[in-house]
Amino acid sequence: MKIYLDHDWQGNMSSPRKILGEKTKLHLFFFLAFIWVVTGLTGHEPWRPHESATISQILEIYLHNHFIHPTNASNSIPLYPPLYAFFGAAFAKLFSPLLELHDAARIANAMWVSITMISLGLLTRELWGPSFGRTSGLLFIASIGLILNIHTLSPEISALAGISLSLYSFSLYFRRPFRASIILGLGLSITFLSNGFVPTLSIVLTSLALGFFSFWMNKRYVTFLSISYLIFSCIIGSWLFLFYQSDANLFFAWINQPHFNSNPNFWYNLQGLSWFTWPAFPLAIWIVYNNFSSLLSQKRILLPVIFIFTYFLVISFSIQEDQINWIPFIIPFCILAVGSIDLLKRSYASALNWFGILVFGFLCSLIWLGWFAMHTGLPEKIYERMFYLSGDLLASFQVLPFLIALILSAFWVVNVVNNKLTNRSSITNWAIGITMLWVALIMLWGPFIDNRKSHKQIYTQLKPFLTQSSSCMYVNNLSNSQIDLLHYYTKIKPINAFENNKACRLSLISLSNTNEIGSEYKDWKEVWTGKRARDKFYYILLSK
């Protein structure tokens, strides 16, 4: 008779894998995922710079049905393909009686993030087994870099769903090759129609690189790729054909846009990964280091590693340097980190857990202290600083946000006090901590942040001075994001001063206190002037 003992033979104090799988409660995961995704999607105006271009593009579809090649006001060439803006406009029409356009458009993010998390869970189950799907989702929620980006109007959010589906197809290929080929074709299409060439190229290069390794080096893989790229070609080919038929000159201008430069910036992306993908980053590095000698014989490690190197190489040559480009790294780092959790020494898991407790506890205390100062005026120095940074907004007590923040903060404290530490519970604690921190920030500081970043007040003050006949308006010294927000709030697409040989009778100028109106406007008269609180620039509307 054989007897199996649950014993720590390696002496690393790691918990039994079966027990850990049962500890990750499904209802807790769904609760955290829902709160994490929904909080911050509504209740604030579009914030520049990340949301301004997208909301202008969404408005084009919403008002004029320009869903083939919608452009934002500050660019004559589309910045992004139309998929994300199309769904944003569709959700805006769906919820238009209840929500403002920008709030309703952000609801689409919940759909894209849900697709991402489902495909991530399925991908993890294919590579590591059925007890790891929820853990990868908790790592995804716990990622520091996602929290400020996943709730913004950004095409990178839908592109992330496409990338996650594509990586899932490479793992599903071994069991269901035909189904996997359909998923890869859809994933590539979503990625391209959301964010264009750069992220799509990374998936294409990954698919080609996998063919050099034994797991994928066979005729079946060639057939799998052939079907996938046929589906991909049919989908994007249809859009490209419609684009060309609609406006051939604009089509070629979009195709010929530069995407890469000859001087890669490896250091910028490398240093960003160390914090953006935390807490998955150290766990992923640890498992790669410990399995380096057998890396080629483990497809569950090989697949995410190949994508990491491929995507890192592609974005390092990209002309767009922005931390939002790092979002796709979250997927492979979560996959790698899942495999190392159960193998960690208990002391390492405890250190990771306590580091999260200290960081989240400190930051949450600062949020509550700032909220208290804004409502009571004490401590005075903190109140003065908060009042200045909020754009001189006087605080008003709101019961519901206060109760939500209080309940989530109390839930986190109770979890910390009563939690029985295991390796996987440290990741759960990170997910709970960052969710609590995000909820507290939005509920308690949301009005102050929105007042500082919002441009609604200044442009709604301007709007009554723009008649229906003033659809032609110059802008001078306004940034691209300001032009896009001006378009959103006034429904007028301005043009740069004296371009396109148009004789406009209105001009909006942005000046600092040290600048004066240019001599070219000497015969124009001032109609309106306005200024945002704590802004060093002010606006002047001139009429000819």
305 and 350 part of one domain: no
433 and 467 part of one domain: no
For 361, half-sphere exposure in the C-beta direction (CA atoms, 13 angstrom radius) is: 12
124-139 residue pLDDT tens: 999 998 879 899 999 9
Contact indicator for 364, 310 with CB cutoff of 8 Å: no
Confidence band, pLDDT 50/70/90 cuts, at residue 163:
very high
Mean pLDDT along residues 148-158? 95
Contact indicator for 288, 326 with CB cutoff of 8 Å: no
352 and 335 part of one domain: no
Other C-beta atoms lying within 10 Å of the C-beta of residue 19: 11
The set of residues, in sequence order, having a beta carbon less than 8 Å from that of 473 and lying 6+ positions away, is 466, 492, 494, 495, 504, 506, 507, 508
Of 454, 482, 507, the residue that ends a domain is: 454
Contact indicator for 352, 174 with CB cutoff of 8 Å: no
Residue with tokens 């008649």: 467
31-65 residue pLDDT tens: 999 999 999 999 999 998 889 999 999 999 999 99
* Integer Cα distance of 65 and 232 in angstroms: 25
Name the DSSP class of 13: -
Contact indicator for 442, 40 with CB cutoff of 8 Å: yes
| Residue 46 preceded by cis peptide, ω within 30 | no
Q: Which residue range forms the structural domain that includes residue 367? A: 346-454
Q: Percent of the chain scored above 70 by pLDDT? A: 94
230 and 105 part of one domain: yes
264 in a structural domain = no
Mean pLDDT along residues 145-155? 93
According to the model, what pLDDT value does residue 23 have?
47
- Domain count for the chain, please give it: 3
* Integer Cα distance of 529 and 360 in angstroms: 44
Mean pLDDT along residues 493-507? 76
259-290 residue pLDDT tens: 999 889 899 999 999 899 999 999 999 999 99
According to the model, what pLDDT value does residue 470 have?
63
Confidence band, pLDDT 50/70/90 cuts, at residue 7:
very low
Task: Output the CA torsion sign for 281, 286, 292, 298.
Answer: negative
213 and 235 part of one domain: yes
189 in a structural domain = yes
Q: Is pLDDT at 385 greater than 80 in this prediction?
A: yes
391 in a structural domain = yes
Hey, which residues does 521 pair with through a beta bridge?
none
Q: Is pLDDT at 526 greater than 60 in this prediction?
A: yes
445 and 503 part of one domain: no
130 and 221 part of one domain: yes
Residue with tokens 């799988």: 21
Angle of the 380-389 helix axis to the 446-453 helix axis, nearest 10? 40
Q: Which residue has the higher pLDDT, 381 or 421?
A: 381
Which DSSP string corresponds to 83-102?
A: HHHHHHHHHHHHTTTTS-HH
| Residue 279 preceded by cis peptide, ω within 30 | yes
415 and 471 part of one domain: no
Which two three-digit tokens encode residue 269?
């992306």
478 in a structural domain = yes
125 and 104 part of one domain: yes
20 in a structural domain = no
Count how many residues are written for the chain. Answer: 544
Q: Is pLDDT at 367 greater than 50 in this prediction?
A: yes
266 in a structural domain = no
* Integer Cα distance of 540 and 517 in angstroms: 9
412 and 477 part of one domain: no
Put simply, whether the predicted model's pTM sits higher than 0.95 gets the answer: no
42 in a structural domain = no
505-520 residue pLDDT tens: 889 999 987 778 888 8
Residue 235 sits at φ, ψ, to 5 deg, of: -70, -55
Q: Is pLDDT at 8 greater than 60 in this prediction?
A: no
Mean pLDDT along residues 391-403? 95
Of 454, 473, 496, the residue that ends a domain is: 454
According to the model, what pLDDT value does residue 107 have?
97
Mean pLDDT along residues 488-503? 78
The CA angle 367-369-374, to the nearest 5 degrees, is 95
According to the model, what pLDDT value does residue 94 have?
96
Question: With the CA atoms of 341, 346, 351 and 354 taken in that order, what torsion angle do they form, in degrees rounded to the nearest 10?
Answer: 90
330 and 464 part of one domain: no
103 in a structural domain = yes
443-464 residue pLDDT tens: 999 999 999 999 999 999 999 8
Question: With the CA atoms of 279, 280, 283 and 288 taken in that order, what torsion angle do they form, in degrees rounded to the nearest 10?
Answer: -150
Residue 175 sits at φ, ψ, to 5 deg, of: -100, -45
Of 410, 429, 454, the residue that ends a domain is: 454
According to the model, what pLDDT value does residue 533 have?
85
Collapsing DSSP to helix, strand or coil, 104 comes out as: helix
* Integer Cα distance of 61 and 47 in angstroms: 20
173 and 281 part of one domain: yes
Specify burial of residue 212 (Cβ count, 10 A radius: 0-12, 13-18, 19+): exposed
Single-letter amino acid code for the residue at 381: K
Alpha helix segments (H runs only) across 377-474: 380-389, 399-418, 423-440, 446-453, 456-462
* Integer Cα distance of 193 and 198 in angstroms: 11
According to the model, what pLDDT value does residue 5 have?
41
